Amino acid sequence: MFKGRQFDQSVILLCVRWYLAYNLSLRDLKEMMSERGIGVDHSTIHRWVIHFAPLLLERFNRRKRAVTGEWHVDETYIKVRGEWMYLYRAIDSVGDTVEFWFSEHRDLLAAKRFFRKALERHGRPDRIVIDGSQTNHEAIASCDAANRLRDRSRRRLKPITIGKSRYLNNRIEQDHRRIKHRVRPMLGFKSPAATSIILSGIEMVHMMRKRQARYTFNPNPSLAEQFTILAA
């Protein structure tokens, strides 16, 4: 993963982890590295994040534990180039992150893409709770019907139960706060593509803190240890 890089793996991982996990700007990290005698430009750190975050997330997902059969789904707002865009998110009944999807639009097509991704990765839940959005309701019903038609197990699959409750969906609104807390000091994203990658890295760190991955030799590793394991 790090072959041919000018900087040592430990420096790259440190910068990527600190940027995704803590309220630090790229220039903060540049200054902090300088105090350690390491001269690295803020744009280089940004390139590291864009390059390594998806690779680390891919390895994390291989270790991710299964989610429960009840999901809570909602969208939150992310500002990119001065315009509001959307992060679709789902957590399960114990608060573990199920899936996320960044979209420039909040419409039926975006909702379908999100639910298709979640169903393909995690299988069919028994129940999905939403906040009353008719678009999300239509997307779930459509994706569920298509999923049942493709099923070749010859079992008679029951449709996913769709619950609508703002009260029950408060738990995912609370979960949004962790993501928004990290995004807020980033001073605005410049492109949807980079935003999607950085958000995926932030979501990965959030899942790490929830202990959603399994590690054979260490059942309770720190963030630093998890990054090191995934990069090995």
Q: Reduce the DSSP state of residue 95 to 3 states and report it.
A: coil
Contact partners, residue 28, CB within 8 Å, separation at least 6: none
Reduce the DSSP state of residue 25 to 3 states and report it.
coil
- Checking if the pLDDT of 1 tops 70, the result is yes
Across the range 176-204, mean pLDDT stands at 91
Residues of the chain with CATH 3.30.420.10: 70-190
Taking each helix axis from N to C end, the angle separating 9-21 and 192-209, rounded to the nearest 10 degrees, works out to 90
- pLDDT at residue 164 is higher than 90: no
The answer, yes or no, to whether residue 209 has pLDDT greater than 90, is yes
pTM, rounded to two decimals: 0.92
Look at residue 154 in the predicted model and tell me its pLDDT: 62
The mean predicted confidence, pLDDT, of the chain is: 92
Lowest mean per-residue pLDDT among 3-17, 20-34, 109-123: 3-17
Output the six-digit token pair for 148: 């049942």
Please tell me what DSSP assigns to residue 222: -
Residue 66: its pLDDT value, please? 95
- Say which CATH class 70-190 falls into: alpha beta
156, pLDDT greater than 80: no
53, amino acid identity: A
DSSP H or E segment with residue 62: helix 42-63
Q: Lowest mean pLDDT of 34-38, 94-98, 130-134, name the range.
A: 130-134
Instruction: Find the mean pLDDT for residues 169-194.
Output: 88
Q: What is the phi/psi pair of residue 135, to 5°?
A: -65, -45
